[in-house]
Amino acid sequence: MKSILLVEDDPFVIDIYTKKLKMAGFSVRTARDGEEALRKLKEKKPDLLILDIVLPNIDGWELLGKIKGNEGLKDLKVVVLSNLSEKIDVEKGLEFGIVGYFIKAYYTPTQVVKEIKKILKPST
């Protein structure tokens, strides 16, 4: 079973995505801010990190920087799930090497889960 760490501070979004991802067969852990996410990443590296950018304490950009600077985490697959929709934000995410950038207002949870399945599909 593929594992996902969802980093999101909105309880409603956490609830929806946790349910959808579990229904799709993923193991899901959550973190409500960047500090908690870092602790959980050090405990157990997931197969995928779903990351909001606007977070308390350590925001998503800072967290991405810490992940990419960490030898054990730098190859972690990261998908951004955010309301930041400016081209500059998407480009910044791509510079960090993310594998997907989904704008919450443009994608339904079902569509995001479908894309995540593609990203985590074993290569044959």
The one-digit pLDDT tens for each residue of the chain (124 residues) are: 999 999 999 999 999 999 999 999 999 999 999 999 999 999 999 999 999 999 999 999 999 999 999 999 999 999 999 999 999 999 999 999 999 999 999 999 999 999 999 999 876 4
Give the pTM. 0.95
Q: Which two tokens stand for residue 79?
A: 């998908």
Contact 9, 33 (CB under 8 A): yes
Question: Which residues have C-beta within 8 Å of that of residue 112, sequence separation ≥ 6?
Answer: 17, 20, 81, 102
Helix axes 11-23, 109-120, angle to 10 degrees: 50
Which CATH number applies to 3-120? 3.40.50.2300
